[in-house]
Structure 1
Amino acid sequence: MSLPCREKEFENIYRFIEGKILDGAGGCMYISGVPGTGKTATVQEVVRSLQEAVSRRDIPDFKFIELNGMWLTEPRQAYVQLLNALTGQTVTAEQAQQLLERRFSRTAHRRITTLLLVDELDLLWTRRQDVVYNLLDWPTKAASRLVVLTIANTMDLPERLLMGRVTSRLGLTRVTFHPYTHKQLQEIVMARLRGLQAFDPDAIQLVARKVAAVSGDARRALDICRRATEFAEGDAEGSDGTVAMQHVDQALAEMIASTKVQVIRYCSKMEQLFLQAVASEIQRTGVEETVFDKVYIQLRTLCVFDGYAVPSVTESLGICARLGSCRLLLTEHSRADMHQRVLLNVSSDDLYYALKVL
């Protein structure tokens, strides 16, 4: 059963994996989309449906393994965890890579298909890039019986990470999850509330429109609904407990009043533009950590587009330092030059809520 408004994506992913399992073939699918668009939840629902199909004997058995870039102490641990899940062996990363290479290159007639989900693919990026490359390359080997699903936030991450290596040879199938529209968000919230008469339909529409205007993130819409419900429960005395427009307004106002949102709103225009530049660079690459010189390129573009004078590198380094001192950015204290690493220390949603009028 697919998630509301993700029926097409569910079908595409299901058919891709089902076909590979039935054919005993390998393959790789790259799934992208901004946070909160249902990527991981849809894949998990697909896997559950495939496991039910196995129990009905509609398709051959398969082994499901999940890796998440956030769970790994360093990218090459992906080799160690994958080998351990397949064989129970625990070896060094280098040994694991060699054993996996051998396994996926040699024919084994009794081997069942391995379905590997790699979530947060962008966090496996390293300067050598061998981890991402191997995970995408192993399914192309004729004997692999390895189906890899990768999930990340950026559409062109493979091209950016593989830096000139021929991605077309890897035969990536792509599925893109676009941000939810306000009508889709409305449908998602209503599906969660099915059978309950607790929400005024106008209140649901208000949540959907506000969130769609900023990010299209279903999780944020549901968070607002939960908070609005708490406000309605507080007003329950003398009322019917229905969540109305004013409760949604209270939840939105509280979100806007959060400390980090307020700090961003009190930043200078150039500091706000710098934060936007960091967010733009993260969105462009799909990698959460970036470097000052890349951010500066984005900052210049934003300034020109918005009609502001472009600050010098020295001025911009000062802006970066100020944002670091108030913890809106995490910066590399050991160096304050063009190559210092920069990390956004606020959620992109908080940044957008601070800079947009709700």
Structure 2
Amino acid sequence: MGVRNTPGTRTGVPADLAEVERLAAARLPTDVRDFIAGGSGDEVTLVANRVALDGVGVVPRTFAGVEAADTGVSLVGTRAALPVAVAPMAYQCLVHPEGEVAAAAAAGAAGVPFTVGTLSSRTVEEIAKTGAPLWFQLYWLRDRGLVGELVARAEEAGCQALVITVDVPVMGHRRRDVRNGFALPAEVRAAHLVAGTTEAHERRDVGSGVAEHTSAVFDPTLGWRDLEWLRARTRLPLVVKGVLDPLDAARCVGLGASAVVVSNHGGRQLDGAVPSVTALPRVVEAVAGAGDVLFDSGVRSGTDVLRALALGATGVLLGRPVLWGLAVDGERGVARVLELLRAEFAQALLLAGCADVDAARGLATVSTGRGAP
């Protein structure tokens, strides 16, 4: 990865995702690091996500007779080499000049879907040239015509699913960004929202330019009728991201969603929201096989992927670690992150006595700590 003599590593190559994060944190400006790492409010939910994951104990099976595990799976109709997709994340050119193009290329090489964000700093057309399997994430915008235009662009670019994020009627109060007066540098922009992005670049003594921009362009009145409108508008499988309530999840699939993502936005929206992994089993029960149930918020290892599967998830979305890898070494850094996750997950399957992903969903779990299911 081009990193040498790094404290905590003997070879200069990170041995786990925590080391990748430490390397990235040392390289990034404070305001950018805080923009990525931070949560909302007192960051209670940000911390609780990790505590709750650590509190999930998996009960391994023995006498499995498994020599090699198959990590492949279908996620919302997309064939993937791992039960993992890269989560939608904004403004990736903040951490590397190639941004989303580099991250998507690494995801494609690893055989996992890459989710292009509405607030991507490279366009879906540019990213599609990597040949990676793509999903497109949609925020609900005040300009309904622009929503329709983005859906059409995603379809034309060959995206295989449409992901609508529903937990950002307004941006959570992210105190790190407010203290830093965070704003985008001139060279980084929301490539799909070329017009009306001035607010995001205006640095303040106290306050967040990105939050001001979000307030200006996002529509907080998103409701069930809008989901029905979107379902009728696109031929793509529809994924609803940001669901924690079982009743909401059941209604989403009842209205034609192919999947839901159990997510509290990585602790960046409602502070005090339930940890995603705590909400996961009840959402799985409510969906009852009528659609895929994906999980995100706090995934940091192959063991975390195993935990989510054992609790009934179809797969997980991987967020911040991808940005840390991108910051460290661009496409090669993201490739290293995904390879670490692949190796850890394959070993976790074997240690749990599982020949494949389906077997992992049959594992029992116990609560070993606070906040666990």
> What is the TM-score normalised by the length of structure 1?
0.26
Larger Rg: 1
Q: Which has the higher helix share?
A: 1
